């Protein structure tokens, strides 16, 4: 990244991340200042039951370039991403999971690639979370290849960048749970969008709990997958 880009929308989905939100957002601010002439950071609160929203409100008072989108009750990861996409106002949009497991300064890798791509997606150099999550990711890759005909190294990596015009071609999204990433890739494939993959580092979660591996989330993802398959194959975007 040799020079600043004109503008960048950044958003983080948060659900019960009171111990992570301030650190994540305050780390991203100088990165955004270095990367873009104009920028915004959107904190998406997915119905947190802890102090996540209270902390977000305090951060907004400290910097007018920070914004909050909040809904209750908790609706799911996909719902949080949808809110971020719909509220982002600049031509480049990047999201990063709000659990502190990525180094947001690596956004420079995405910016370097986006000029020749519609979407740039991260893949984790070494995934540092529970082994069961590794199993789920590999099952998801097989599932997506069989049902939707695509393969990527790290489908559910929570670090992705989009051109706004590309997003507009594949929105609106229906999935409100974990299947949102499959929906993004499936619709991008249908629209012949160019997707580039970049390697990112992954770090162990220091605070809070992961929810992506619980049974309720998995069952919801399977149900949403079948709905998506029907929509894709019957010509509805």
The answer to whether the CB of 52 falls within 8 A of the CB of 21 is yes
- pLDDT interval class at 230 (50, 70, 90): confident
CA distances from 231 to 53, 135, 228 (A): 35, 27, 5
Residue pLDDT, tens place only, 55-101: 999 999 999 999 999 999 999 999 999 999 999 999 999 999 999 99
Q: In Å, what is the CA distance from 150 to each residue of 130, 172, 199, 215?
A: 25, 20, 19, 25
The closest of 112, 123, 110 to 162, measured between CA atoms, is 110
What distance in Å separates the CA atoms of residue 97 and residue 148, rounded to the nearest whole number? 25
pLDDT given at position 208:
64
Which tokens go with 75? 């609706």
Q: Which helix (H) or strand (E) holds 122?
A: strand 119-124
When pLDDT is averaged across residues 176-180 and rounded to a whole number, the result is: 89
Q: Which domains does the chain have, with CATH numbers?
A: 5-233 (3.90.550.10)
- Residues 13-45: tens digit of each pLDDT: 999 999 999 999 999 999 999 999 999 999 999
> How would you class 148 by CB atoms within 10 Å of its CB: exposed for 0-12, middle for 13-18, buried for 19 or more?
buried
């Amino acid at each position: 990244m040799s020079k600043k880009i004109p503008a960048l929308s950044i958003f983080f989905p948060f659900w019960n991340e009171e111990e992570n939100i301030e650190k994540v957002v305050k780390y991203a601010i100088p990165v955004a200042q270095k990367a873009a002439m104009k920028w915004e950071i959107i904190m998406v609160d997915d119905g947190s039951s802890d102090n996540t929203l209270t902390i977000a409100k305090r951060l907004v008072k400290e910097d007018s370039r920070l914004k909050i989108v909040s809904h209750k009750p908790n609706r799911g990861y996909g719902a949080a991403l949808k809110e971020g996409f719909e509220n982002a106002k600049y031509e480049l949009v990047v999201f990063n999971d709000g659990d502190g497991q990525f180094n947001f300064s690596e956004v420079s890798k995405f910016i370097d690639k986006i000029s020749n791509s519609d979407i740039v997606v991260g893949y984790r150099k070494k995934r540092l979370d529970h082994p069961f999550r590794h199993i789920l990711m590999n099952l998801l890759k097989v599932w997506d290849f069989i049902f939707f005909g695509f393969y990527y190294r790290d489908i559910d990596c929570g670090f992705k960048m989009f051109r706004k015009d590309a997003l507009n071609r594949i929105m609106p999204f229906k999935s409100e749970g974990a299947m949102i990433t499959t929906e993004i890739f499936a619709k991008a494939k249908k629209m012949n969008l160019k997707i580039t993959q970049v390697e990112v580092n992954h770090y162990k979660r220091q605070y809070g709990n992961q929810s992506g591996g619980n049974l309720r989330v998995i069952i919801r993802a399977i149900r949403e997958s079948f709905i998506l398959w029907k929509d894709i194959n019957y010509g509805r975007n």
